[in-house]
Chains A and B, each alone.
Chain A
Amino acid sequence: MESLIIILVGVLTTVAIYLVLSKNVVRVILGTAILSHAVHLLILSMGGLKVGTVPLLGEEAEVYVDALPQALILTAIVISFAVTAFILVLAYRAYQELGTDNLGAMRGSDDE
């Protein structure tokens, strides 16, 4: 299972990076969103999958799954949401000001 998930992570990473490398702002933002999905899955698989019960002590189980990656991912989901929201609005604002969503046209002048 873990290996399969890791391969899935690889596929998601590939797609994400291809999108990030494109000129269109929205494609880049989508790319970053997919990249965070990939990273979340990767972190989760590092702790081992399905080797215990839900990490709630009330379950009184012998083995719980690793809770640490879950805590990390919970933080990461929220942060990646915040960043996605911010760059989406940034893209909106850049389009309002510059009239383009093409990164090639946003290069600025030579003096900068």
Chain B
Amino acid sequence: MYLLIFAILIPFIATALIPLIHKRIGAFHIGWFVLLVPLALFAIFVMQIPAISNGETLIQAVNWIPSLGINFTAYLDGLSLIMALLITGMGSLVVLYSIYYLSSSDSFPHFYAYLLLFMGAMLGVVLSDNLLVLYVFWELTSISSFLLIAFWYHRKNSRYGAQKSLLITVFGGFGMLAGFLMLHSMTGTFSIREIAAVLGQYTDHTLFYPAMFLVLLGAFTKSAQFPFHIWLPDAMEAPTPVSAYLHSATMVKAGIYLVARFTPLFGGSAAWFWTVTLVGLVTLFWGAFCAVRQTDLKALLAYSTISQLGLIMSLFGLGSAALHFGDGELGELYGLAIFAALFHMINHSTFKGALFMVVGIIDHQVGTRDTRRLGGLISFLPITFTFAVIGSFSMAGLPFFNGFLSKEMFFTATVNAAILPAFGASTWGLLIPVIAWIASVFTFVYCMVFVFRTFFGTPQLKKLDRKPVEPSIGMLISPAILCIFIVGLFFVPNLLGDHLLKPAMNGIIPGIPGAAPHISAWHGFNAELFMTLGIIVIGTFLFLTFRSWYKIYLIQPAGWNFTVLYNSFLKGLKRAANWITTHYMTGYLPAYFAYIFIFFIVTSGGALIFTGALSIDLTADSPIAIYEGMLIAVMVIAAISMLFAKSRLTAILLNGVLGFSIAIFFVLFRAPDLALTQLVIETVTTALFLLCFNFLPEWTKEDSPKRTKIRNAVIAISAGVTVTLIGLTVNSGRLFDSISGYFEDSYELAGGDNIVNAILGDFRAFDTMLESLVLFIAGLGVYTLIRLKLGKGTKKDEHQ
């Protein structure tokens, strides 16, 4: 049974089918066909829940390139299952929503092909056990994201956003690949499970920390962590269903998934703990801080997504401390963070998905998402308003919504981190809950901005494109289902906790099963509750007095952000590439020849010398007769005098001397066929040269400057020396037996007495046939060049 592998392949197969089906179904919306794919996959993964919640795992392997250790191994454990359910579940809702969202002028086959491509790639990422297979799927998600962001490719901003996201995530992915290769060179395997089992022995290896940071680079770029977060707001140029699906619920969680997956490998070290926690906290704060000032609702949600991803990231960092302590009271105390992270990851997908869909509805119904033009929509869009309130209040961490539960657990984890008795946390640990709390205040503020700026205040109907009315029921189904989850998870969280979160947590921090709590909304009057109360009070105050402290955003000078850095880097890159290209692509043939010869000298000559291959052994040489020595002397003299030939006629005659001398050598070296051919060819060549000279001017003395001549001489002599050394080295020893003995059976094998002819006419007959083809093509070329009339063709006629 290869159920998991089929699950990965089904979206790809469906992608290939889309163009075929699209033509057949006529007016029927292709989205309904596409919807079947995530629904079926969702059902398949739901059926795996009982087994996984019992602590089982599924492994299905297909050998791919076993000699390189690359196998298509699909692995399903608690963590993969959560991700797979998110991918297929959110996928179903988003496809359903998109059927009503897209306008008839959009190209449906492209949209759904990209979407299914992404779905398959993302399932591949979360189900692969092999690092290289994971990497391929990882980059495929980047590519499909690129295609989806640029879906409305006639817009400049879409293209810019698509390129930005691709460059940043692929840059990180490339680093991650290097990290994977380092892991392989340490452990000798690409399987994550096998690496996890042995990596503990390699913590002192020089590659251990480089591998860790490179893997984190991949995770941070993908999950839009500070300072790589800049691509996510620009990715909002994508159609809203895409933003809901890729850029909040699934793809950006690939980085988080990677961190979770690698926690058993690297967790427990101080470097991992601090890097993941601090990057997460900074992202959490910066995202929330920036979200408040946004006037575009989608940009607000983009920054809020950055912030929430930072929150989940920091929880995985905090939870990795549990591996330092192992099973026991401390391990359970800090392992709670992992549980909270998984819980919040699911919660975030539900409420952020719902909020994106709300924005999509507003944009779709009134034609803008600018808060300065919106307001008072509550009376026009009451159902949408309800969804917005449920989603935002859950995001703000208010009670009766699932966000409250995971937010409280987040506070518990940060408060515990302040007293962490390891990693030197006693000095600065207190900062962790403080930053978390301040960031949460801003989170509360932007949640209020989202609800109140859009739905309350005086309606500005004149500024809207259309009169606001509720959308068709189809557009409301998906957010409604998400809202049911948001509320439902608050009341029955342990259903999720026991069956999904617990097995996933056990996979991330193995051996500490006691860390999973029984989730309850009421803990008594503890620090977490007061933190939440404080957020509500301070946050409400800040929201109401927003105008008076707005100036805080002006402290950051206009040109001082990472987007400017990114843009100027790209600009510089373009300029540098242009500069380099124009300087070496000169259009001057001798320059190109010089590159080729210099490259040959450096690589071949360098390899010969630095690998120690160079050896000269004259003992096996055959004796030299006097006349042979004379012939060699003649050739050397002829060759060198050619350099000083005053007229081209002298040069061509000297070339003839060389050619005929070689024919004599062929005779001496027992090669009669070669001698005959050489004589004929040399004669014809000389005649051809003379014929052409009739039409070409007499050559003039080379007028190049002395510097160029010396440079050319140096190149020529170096190349000659390199060729000589290679020849001498090859001649001084054989690494393998010659294969020529085989051809000496030519009479038995090919019925030929002449071995050379047998090789050409029988053993290598195809070569000879194609050689004749080359001759034919060259002849055709010669004929065409002579007969061809370019343009008006008058010039040539005049000469004749």
What residues of chain A have their CB less than 8 Å away from a CB belonging to chain B?
A: 1-28, 30, 33-34, 37-38, 40-42, 44-58, 64-68, 70-71, 73-75, 77-79, 81-86, 88-93, 95-97, 101, 103-104, 106-108, 112
Contacts and interface: CB of A to CB of B under 8 A. Distances in A.
Contacts of B695: 92, 95-96
A51 B778 contact: no
B555 interface: no
A112 B588 CA distance: 12
Interface residues of B, number: 101
Given A57-B753, A70-B673, A45 B588 contact: no
Nearest to B636: A11
A81 B684 contact: yes
Contact of A56 (B588, B720, B754): B754
B552 interface: no
B712 A21 contact: yes
Given A37-B662, A82-B778, A58 B753 contact: yes
Nearest to B704: A23
Nearest to A104: B588
Interface string B517-551: 00000000000000000000000000000000000
A46 B696 CA distance: 38
B723 A42 contact: yes
A84 B655 CA distance: 13
A26 B716 contact: no
Interface string B694-706: 0111011011100
Given A12-B658, A78-B771, A86-B778, A5 B795 contact: no
Interface string B715-736: 1110111011001101100000
A70 B696 contact: no
A106 B670 contact: no
B674 A70 contact: yes
A71 B651 contact: no
A10 B695 CA distance: 33
B170 to A, nearest CB: 32
B723 A13 contact: yes
Given A2-B622, A10-B723, A17 B716 contact: yes
A86 B767 CA distance: 21
Q: Ordered nearest first, which 9 A-B pairs have the shortest CB separation?
A: A14-B720, A10-B724, A82-B778, A6-B727, A67-B755, A18-B716, A71-B759, A107-B587, A55-B755
A14 B778 contact: no
A95 B719 contact: no
Contact of A77 (B677, B723, B724, B785): B677
A10 B785 contact: no
A44 B720 CA distance: 17
B756 A18 contact: no
A57 B757 CA distance: 11
A70 B731 contact: no
Given A57-B753, A66-B738, A34 B723 contact: no
Contacts of A4: 621, 624, 629, 632
A6 B731 contact: yes
B635 interface: yes
A49 B674 CA distance: 14
B719 A3 contact: no
Given A19-B643, A46-B731, A53-B670, A10 B720 contact: yes
A110 B182 CA distance: 45
A17 B100 CA distance: 70
Nearest to B618: A3
Nearest to A1: B622
Contact of B712 (A22, A46, A77, A91): A22
A15 B674 CA distance: 23
Nearest to B777: A82
15 contacts: A8-B636, A18-B713, A23-B702, A37-B659, A42-B723, A50-B668, A54-B670, A58-B753, A77-B674, A81-B685, A82-B774, A82-B779, A86-B782, A88-B692, A92-B696
Contacts of B699: 24, 26-27, 101
Contacts of A47: 738, 740
Nearest to A12: B639
A55 B685 contact: no
B688 interface: yes
Given A5-B665, A86-B782, A89-B692, 16 more contacts: A1-B621, A3-B616, A4-B629, A10-B727, A13-B723, A21-B597, A24-B699, A42-B727, A54-B671, A57-B754, A75-B767, A75-B771, A77-B677, A90-B785, A95-B696, A96-B795
B696 A86 contact: no
A50 B622 contact: yes
A99 B419 CA distance: 86
Contacts of B759: 67-68, 71
Interface stretch (B464-472, B508-516, B742-750): B742-750
B15 to A, nearest CB: 40
Nearest to A46: B730
Contacts of A26: 648, 651, 693, 696, 699
Contacts of A84: 685, 688
Contact of B665 (A19, A34, A41, A108): A41
Contacts of A79: 771, 774-775
B646 interface: no
B771 A17 contact: no
A21 B716 contact: yes
A8 B720 CA distance: 10
Contacts of B632: 4-5, 8
Contact of A101 (B659, B671, B678, B697): B697
A13 B697 CA distance: 26
Contacts of A74: 673-674, 677, 756, 760
Count chain A CB atoms within 10 A of each CB in B669, B685, B747, B759 and give the residue with the most: B669
